[in-house]
Amino acid sequence: MSAWSDEPQNLLPEAIFGHELRRLRQAQGWSLEAFGSRVRYSGTMVGYYELAKRPVPEEFVTRVEEVLGLKGELVDLWKKINPKTAPKWFREWPKIEAAARTIRSWEPLIVPGLLQTADYARAVLRGRPGATEEEVEQALEARLQRQTIFDRPTCPMFTGVMDEGVLHRQIGGREGMRQQLERLLSLTDHPKITIQIVPLETEQTTGLLGGFAIAQLPNAQDWAYLESPSSGQVTDRVEEVQAISLRYDMIRAWAHPLHVTKNVLREMLERYEHE
């Protein structure tokens, strides 16, 4: 099942691609069937692509570019839907994030990707074995693009819970970590972002084996993303999402309340500034 098939969102890359595809077709005065025959796809399938109801194959985009005499304009839009820097199993998740009404995140080891500074994210991405600088920068661009969901007037409500150990791990060096803490502290004032820290002294072990996130779409459908060392998982299976939601609730019950979390962030920032 596609995460965006039920209710296309105007600001999603898929919807932007579909709108541009429809505009280009109509500019030629072609019906869906006439256009489809030229690119060797059915008119029905072209209509699905225009409405963002089906994933768009690269072959289709190549044929459209040839038929319309384009110079990569549509390819550039398609690449925003299908960034090659992301593994296949992850590519659905940014679309779910962008369409979500709420996102709940747990991270035991690093700052959530949606809250990372560029330098922090770059240091994290460099940790992938064999990654070239070009690949790192491409992946960084994709990660920063994901963060633009918070620039929208209708951005999702985001609740990020982190283990306190995340604040002590100097990813990106002292200066990079200082900047990351500044960003986290500033984000605590964002009306749609909640950050909570689970203290080191807690005895809870739930969630220490890996991070995860749960997103709810406007149609009330829940999706979950689970991290692992080799390959993650994106799922909407009800029993799996419910089990992850229960785990999230257990973890959050141990977290500092908001005002205490803010004080913890301030204290850690002062340490990085003065030590």
Domains detected in the chain = 13-81 (1.10.260.40), 88-274 (3.30.870)
Residue 83 has pLDDT above 70, yes or no: no
- Of these ranges, 90-99, 168-177, 224-233, the one predicted with the greatest mean pLDDT is 168-177
pLDDT at 1 over 50: no
Residues contacting residue 250 through CB under 8 Å, at least 6 positions apart: 204, 206, 207
Of 86-100, 180-194, 209-223, 231-245, the range with the highest mean pLDDT is 180-194
pLDDT higher than 60, residue 73: yes
Q: What is the pLDDT of residue 15?
A: 80
Token digits for 55?
């994933």
Angle between helices 173-187 and 118-125 (to 10 degrees): 130
Predicted confidence band at 13 (pLDDT cuts at 50, 70, 90)?
A: confident
- Residue-wise pLDDT for 149-200, tens only, equals 898 888 899 999 999 999 999 999 999 999 999 999 999 999 999 999 999 9
**The pLDDT of residue 89:** 66
* Pairing, β 157-163 against β 233-235: unpaired
Q: How far apart are CA 4 and CA 131, in angstroms?
A: 31
* pLDDT reading at 56 higher than 50: yes
Backbone angles phi, psi at 105, to 5 degrees: -130, 145
What is the arithmetic mean of pLDDT over 232-254?
A: 94
pLDDT band, very low/low/confident/very high, at 16 (cuts 50, 70, 90): confident
Q: Given a cut of 60, is residue 114 above it in pLDDT?
A: yes
What's the confidence (pLDDT) of residue 8?
41
What pLDDT does residue 269 have?
A: 96
